[in-house]
Amino acid sequence: MNEEYQAEYGPKWSDQRVERMLGALVCAVVGLLLAMIVTVFVRAWPSFSHNGLAWFGPGGSVDDQLNAIFLSGQAGAEYIYTFHAWPLIWSTLLITGGAVLIALFSALFVAVFVVEFAPEWMSNILQPVVRFLASVPSVIYGLLGVLVLVPFIGNHLVTEGQKASVAGVISLSGYSLLAAVLVLTTMIAPLMVSIFTDGLRSVKPGWLEGSLALGVNRWRTTWKIGVRSARPAIVAGTVLATARAIGEAVMLAMISGSVGFAPNPADGLIFIYEPSRPLAPTIVKNIDQLSSPPANATLFAIAAVLLFSAALFSLTGYIARRSMRKYGTA
């Protein structure tokens, strides 16, 4: 009846009204997003254009460079823009990569357990708990890190010999790669678990039953059919978690250490105790310098890199999910 009506008279006015209002809202949101991206990149441009690709490379101490940039803007002399962000980028890669990797495997096994193996009463308790954990504000994890984990690492795990071997260069006082990766893992794993369980639950029961009916055991069925079909959800969860991890600023500013130092795996075990500072906390720590024009451009350049990598992640996730769509819906 409605289709006939529409064919004859066109869409109803009330529908048109809703359509236009919602459309305007969407346009406003997209416009706001575009304006934000343009602002960030325009403000960041001086820093990129002065350094070229060397912006992303190593060279000198980042902290000294940031300080020189800030002071040049305060003094009113010629602005300095020289900035080589590699230690910050390397720290971001190490901390985010380490945390996502650990969280991916642990979250996958937890999700499989919750969906396939846990007795019902247990998964009834576990699921709300996981959902709650996924929404805990990161400052709380930061506080726990600073008050519990950092002193523990500094006082019990790091030995005096290790500290003495790098004395005067960096101090191994617990603010470390290890603390940052561990706390970040705890922060993002629940997010992954809750998306993975949704994915595993939405696998078509017939596929699993078919496999079980052929005499395949439960673990193999889950692993080969369930997890495989849920791959789009696994990719989606990982992308979301990575995006959250890469932009995490407050928690990491509290526990990753504060020097722009690039931890070197060649140092051996000490490597995981070394402090570093990722990109996002660098913005937080230098927010006071925004009044100096070159420092302003440099901080916006860091923001642009973060924004760009976030966009890249969601694009990768989109492509990966599309190519996996044939395996199942999630």
Partner 1 sequence: MRIKTLAIAAFALAGLAVPASANAITLIGSGSVAAQPVLQALFATYTKQVNPKVKFVYTANGGNAGVKDVQNGTSQFAGNARTPLPSDAGTTYIKMFMDGLCLDVNKKNAASNITIQQAHDIYRGLLTNWSQIPGSNLTTTIDPVGRDTNGGTYNFFLQAVLGNEPPASNVNALTADGLVQNAVKQDPNAIGYVGLAWQRGVKPLKVNGVPCAPSKISVEPLRYPLSRYLFIVLPGDGSQSPPALLKFIDWMRRSPLAGEVISKAGGVPAFNKKPKKR
Which residues contact partner 1 (rule: CB under 8 A)? 61, 63-64, 67, 70, 74, 146-147, 150-151, 154-155, 160, 163-164, 166-171, 173-175, 253-254, 257-259, 261, 275, 284-289, 291
Of the two residues 122 and 287, which places its CB atom closer to partner 1 in the complex?
Answer: 287
Dist CA 130 CA 115 (whole Å):
13
Of the two residues 30 and 147, which places its CB atom closer to partner 1 in the complex?
Answer: 147
Dist CA 181 CA 149 (whole Å):
11
Smallest separation (angstroms) from partner 1 to the CB of 281: 9
The total of other beta-carbon atoms located within 10 Å of residue 319's CB is: 11
Extract the runs of DSSP E, i.e. beta strands, from 80-210: none
**What distance, in Å, lies between the first and last C-alpha atoms of the chain?**
34
Which letter does DSSP use for residue 157 in this model?
Answer: I
What is the chain's alpha carbon radius of gyration, rounded to the nearest angstrom?
25
Smallest separation (angstroms) from partner 1 to the CB of 235: 35
Of the two residues 3 and 78, which places its CB atom closer to partner 1 in the complex?
Answer: 78
Smallest separation (angstroms) from partner 1 to the CB of 291: 6
Smallest separation (angstroms) from partner 1 to the CB of 1: 36
Closest by Cα among 131, 139, 92 to 313 = 92
Smallest separation (angstroms) from partner 1 to the CB of 287: 7
Of the two residues 174 and 190, which places its CB atom closer to partner 1 in the complex?
Answer: 174
Of the two residues 82 and 171, which places its CB atom closer to partner 1 in the complex?
Answer: 171
Smallest separation (angstroms) from partner 1 to the CB of 182: 17
Angstrom CA distances, 233 to 46, 87, 127, 226, 323, stand at 40, 33, 17, 11, 13
Dist CA 89 CA 306 (whole Å):
10
Of the two residues 242 and 256, which places its CB atom closer to partner 1 in the complex?
Answer: 256
User: Is residue 304 within 8 Å of residue 41, measured between CB atoms?
Assistant: yes
Of the two residues 69 and 191, which places its CB atom closer to partner 1 in the complex?
Answer: 69
Return the C-alpha torsion angle 71, 74, 76, 81, nearest 10: 40
Smallest separation (angstroms) from partner 1 to the CB of 143: 10
Dist CA 81 CA 202 (whole Å):
52
